[in-house]
Amino acid sequence: MKYDKSHLNKIQYEVTQNNMTEAPFTGKYDDFFEDGIYVDIVSGEPLFSSKDKYNAGCGWPSFAKTISKASVSSKTDLSHGMIREEIRSANANSHLGHLFNDGPSELGGMRYCINSAALKFIPKKEMKEKGYEEYIKYI
């Protein structure tokens, strides 16, 4: 399926389509903790819940898990002289960020380190009107 990307600004396009990473501590969701869900900026696909977001201090939004394992795919990323696990949205194939195993053990030990530019936040109070009512249970 083709997704319209004309609504993306330059950084959103570069991150999601060209695997770029936004600079640390510059993304709008790094230090943001309202109730709601985070969806793929390209497709609107639900990805993460605010309930699973935590402050990892790394400069990017961090989540302990996805809303659904089926909402993301992963592949080995050998760029920049590192071995990492890249995370992409399952439907739109947007580059989201990377997955690391250095998250809080009490949350399962994983850290989904995600670019703010790849996400759109849907506040809990707007979820029903925007068609995300079934995901309220994840908050």
Tokens, residue 38: 């985070």
Q: What pLDDT sits at residue 118?
A: 98
Burial environment of residue 125 by CB neighbours within 10 A (0 to 12, 13 to 18, 19 or more): exposed
Return the bridge partners of 37, or none: 49, 122
Domain boundaries, the chain: 10-138
Residue 42, class by beta-carbon neighbours within 10 Å (0-12 exposed, 13-18 middle, 19+ buried)?
buried
Q: Which residues contact 13 (CB under 8 A, 6 or more apart)?
A: 5
Q: What is the pLDDT of residues 99-127, one digit of tens each?
A: 999 999 999 999 999 999 999 999 999 99
Tokens of 101: 């195993």
What positions carry a catalytic annotation?
A: 113
Is 10-138 CATH 3.20.20.70? no
pTM of the model as a whole: 0.94
**Helix/strand/coil for 105:** helix
Residues in Cβ contact with 62 at an 8 Å cutoff, skipping those fewer than 6 apart: 53, 54, 55, 56, 103, 111, 112, 113, 114
| 16-39 confidence digits (pLDDT tens) | 999 999 999 999 999 999 999 999
